[in-house]
Amino acid sequence: MRLTINDIAKEAKVSKSTVSRVLNNSGYVHKETREKVEKVIKEKIYYPSATARNLSKKESNIIGVIIPEANNTFFAEVLKGIGEVVDENDMTLIFSDTNNDSVKEARALDMINMQGVRGLIITPVNDHDDSDAERKLKKKLRDLKIPTVILDRGVKNSQWDGVFFENYQSAYCATEILIQEGHEKIGIITGDLNLKIGKDRFRGYLEAMKDHNREPLKRYIYEGNFSVEKAYQLTRQFIEKKDIPDAVLTCNNLTTLGFMKGLNEYQLVLGKDIAAVGIDSNEVLDILGYNFSCVARDSVEMGRVAIRMLLERYQHPNKQRLESVMPFSVYLKGSERKVRS
Amino acid sequence: MRLTINDIAKEAKVSKSTVSRVLNNSGYVHKETREKVEKVIKEKIYYPSATARNLSKKESNIIGVIIPEANNTFFAEVLKGIGEVVDENDMTLIFSDTNNDSVKEARALDMINMQGVRGLIITPVNDHDDSDAERKLKKKLRDLKIPTVILDRGVKNSQWDGVFFENYQSAYCATEILIQEGHEKIGIITGDLNLKIGKDRFRGYLEAMKDHNREPLKRYIYEGNFSVEKAYQLTRQFIEKKDIPDAVLTCNNLTTLGFMKGLNEYQLVLGKDIAAVGIDSNEVLDILGYNFSCVARDSVEMGRVAIRMLLERYQHPNKQRLESVMPFSVYLKGSERKVRS
DNA sequence: CTGAAAGCGCTAACAA
DNA sequence: TTGTTAGCGCTTTCAG
């Protein structure tokens, strides 16, 4: 079976406390003793049990991460950022994908609870919607009583740290870019308006239009849901109806893809037949040379910020609640213009 | 602090053994007692500590997953498949991304070792290359002494279960498709030839050519490394040199993207100026309407197969070593042809 | 059907 | 500087 601290103690002819001391670099231990113990550990290839250690110390070195769509590149990158810092800190990452399903979310939280993790980073399935599901989530988080950072989507009256994105501002800015390019009919494929991030982005669009004395035209407002499929359908529709806006704001990476699918299908050329700016960057589009302009955040960094915030909270449980809002950057590549040739 | 089994026992006026019994549905417990205990558990919102349980039972409900590139969609999907089954079985997933770095791989394995997981699914950084790193990996895996499934890439003389892909056959088939379409100059952008999967795919190409009495022309063999960038450079090169093959086999999803980038940059149209078949499917290309033909595996399913294999091995430690080879499917969408218009 | 007690592998006082 | 001892929260005999 697996070696224990006792095996090492016996072999090194010391007590297990001494072994524990060299393992943890704690307390005093004679140089020679330390070397002897270390030698035995190496020789016998001993790995201390994290389980036993966690039980004894009543603290774990595991960080829990719950996200709604592991296959969405945004979350994949966030995960990468988190993983990086977790690694640097010699901790371990437990991970669960809720698939945007509140029931799975609840189960994931129970699992996290039983594992007794040190902290949790979660992107809720819901977002400020005051739903039953959200209330239950909040209750579970409260019961959890561990450092928690909420990422990207939030809950109402949060008592937890959070890292979010300048949703409103980024949409406002993107819209302004289109306005300043001189486009007349500026449309938007919105995100899921049940989610606050969807609402905020929409609001950014509306306000920008208003501030520039543009009447947002209802027929250029397409209500999407952050999915490829819906954005594609909406794009098809306006192309079929031959009432094509001059420019479109697409509200996330998936929306952008659906939009592009529609354009390609009808052979409309981006930057020529229609202009667009998206929220979120899209690596594959860049690779393929689409020059799709966007306002985007650094998602890997967003993950890093979240985990650092979590570790900070662990150190200072009573510090005031923190909220970090990630700024957006503007990446203009040409698609915001329209060059009728 | 966190509730313990004792708190519940006290409140329910029974011993902790009884609580344990209702928790685990083990042994006899009077119906009324059970109900009383369950009521208390619910009321006080008690979650048993997985840590304590694992220590006591000397077995854990955690599955470790180590992959080299979490951002590669292939692995993201594999992870999704694994997560699904892990979830169904009420287990927990620990995850580590090695970033294709053997040093990180070694650290990840140490972490896994300390966590005392129930089993491990790993895609090694190396692949049958007999390197020092690979030997070290094997030693670590042997020392680990837990059920292990090796996925996608393998090690020499493996003693572990594995799930792999029909690398040779898929490349052979893809090449044959191009041959049968009547293409003359059939090229290949290979994968990393240090990895066995790279070699096997290349061999599939060569053999298919030979079997159809085609002399593979050296100048149409482009040695890539499974990366977007390299494939892009190679594509640029042959376009610049104006020695463009009629058709190309691209050896994985990233290679395909790099290839497409090159084509787009020089405005060559797939299925018209040049034909191609790729290994691995590419969702974004499909979305964008590229009709890129490919031979591909079901990667989510590959993950499922791996985790099921692992659980099976846990049940039957002494069963003969198993190797599952995932078949490929052919997705012809048009890019294998070349329609000079 | 239930409870008492030992023990999982480790840490952390406390003595020595 | 080291060893002894008492837990950490749970499961699992073994008695009753």
Give residue-wise pLDDT tens across range A201-253. Answer: 999 999 999 999 998 889 999 999 999 999 999 999 999 999 999 999 999 99
Residues on chain B touching A267 (C-beta within 8 angstroms)? none
Q: Which two tokens stand for residue B106?
A: 């070694």
- Separation in Å: C15 C1' and B326 CA: 63
The pLDDT of residue A83? 95
Q: Which two tokens stand for residue B128?
A: 């049958």
Least confident of A23-32, B76-85, B88-97: A23-32
Share of chain A above pLDDT 70, in %: 99
Model confidence over B173-186: pLDDT tens digits? 999 999 999 999 99
DSSP H or E stretch at residue A162: strand A161-165
- Cβ pair B62, B117 in contact under 8 A: yes
Is B14 within 7 A of strand C by CB distance? Answer: yes
Q: CA of B227: which chain A residue's CA is closest?
A: A287
Q: CA of A56: which chain B residue's CA is closest?
A: B52
Rounded CA-CA distance B261/B264 in Å is 5
A60–B70 C-beta distance less than 8 A: no
The pLDDT of residue A34? 94
Rounded CA-CA distance A55/B273 in Å is 65
The pLDDT of residue A338? 85
- Cβ pair A331, A268 in contact under 8 A: no
Rounded CA-CA distance B115/B110 in Å is 9
Rounded CA-CA distance B122/B117 in Å is 13
Is A50 within 7 A of strand C by CB distance? Answer: no
Number of helical H runs and strand E runs in chain A: 13, 12
Residues contacting nucleic strand D by the 7 Å CB criterion are A 13-18, 21, 27-34, 52, 55-56, 58; B 1-2, 4-6, 16-17, 19-21, 23-24, 26-27, 48-49, 52-53, 55-57
- Separation in Å: D9 C1' and A38 CA: 30
- Separation in Å: C8 C1' and B57 CA: 7
The pLDDT of residue B341? 47
Residues on chain A touching B70 (C-beta within 8 angstroms)? 76, 79-80, 83
Looking at the predicted structure, is the pLDDT value of residue A7 above 60?
A: yes
The pLDDT of residue B71? 84
Is B27 within 7 A of strand C by CB distance? Answer: yes
Summarize the confidence of residues B258-271 as an average pLDDT.
Answer: 95
Q: Which residue has the tokens 């998936």?
A: A254
- Cβ pair B312, B148 in contact under 8 A: no
Distances (CA, A) of A334 to A178, A265, A285, B283, B319: 11, 21, 13, 25, 60
Confidence band (pLDDT; 50, 70, 90) for A282?
very high
Residue A333's CB is within 10 A of a number of other CB atoms, namely 16
Count of A–B CB contacts within 8 Å?
122
Q: Which two tokens stand for residue B179?
A: 């041959």
Residues on chain B touching A107 (C-beta within 8 angstroms)? 87
Model confidence over A46-105: pLDDT tens digits? 999 999 999 999 999 999 999 999 888 999 999 999 999 999 999 999 999 999 999 999
Buried b (16+ CB within 10 A) or exposed e, B300-333: bebbbbbbbbbbebeeeeeeeeeebebebeebeb
Summarize the confidence of residues B298-306 as an average pLDDT.
Answer: 97
Q: Which residue has the tokens 């050329």?
A: A269
The pLDDT of residue A143? 93
- Separation in Å: D1 C1' and A30 CA: 6
Q: Measured between alpha carbons, how far apart are the two ends of chain B, in Å?
A: 75
DSSP helix/strand/coil, B260: helix
Q: CA of B51: which chain A residue's CA is closest?
A: A51
Rounded CA-CA distance B280/B328 in Å is 9
Q: Which residue is the nearest neighbor of D7, CA to C1'?
A: A56
The pLDDT of residue A285? 96
Q: What is the DSSP letter of B268?
A: P
Confidence band (pLDDT; 50, 70, 90) for A27?
confident
Residues on chain A touching B48 (C-beta within 8 angstroms)? 114
Is B80 within 7 A of strand C by CB distance? Answer: no
- Separation in Å: C6 C1' and A237 CA: 72
Residues on chain B touching A83 (C-beta within 8 angstroms)? 70, 95-97
Q: Which nucleotide is nearest to A57 (CA to C1')?
A: C11
Residues on chain B touching A280 (C-beta within 8 angstroms)? none
- Cβ pair A270, A333 in contact under 8 A: no
Rounded CA-CA distance B80/A289 in Å is 29
Closest partner residue to B47 (CB to CB) among A51, A70, A110 is A110
Summarize the confidence of residues A120-124 as an average pLDDT.
Answer: 98
Q: Measured between alpha carbons, how far apart are the two ends of chain A, in Å?
A: 75
B87–A96 C-beta distance less than 8 A: yes
Model confidence over B215-255: pLDDT tens digits? 888 999 999 999 999 999 999 999 999 999 999 999 999 99
Share of chain B above pLDDT 90, in %: 94
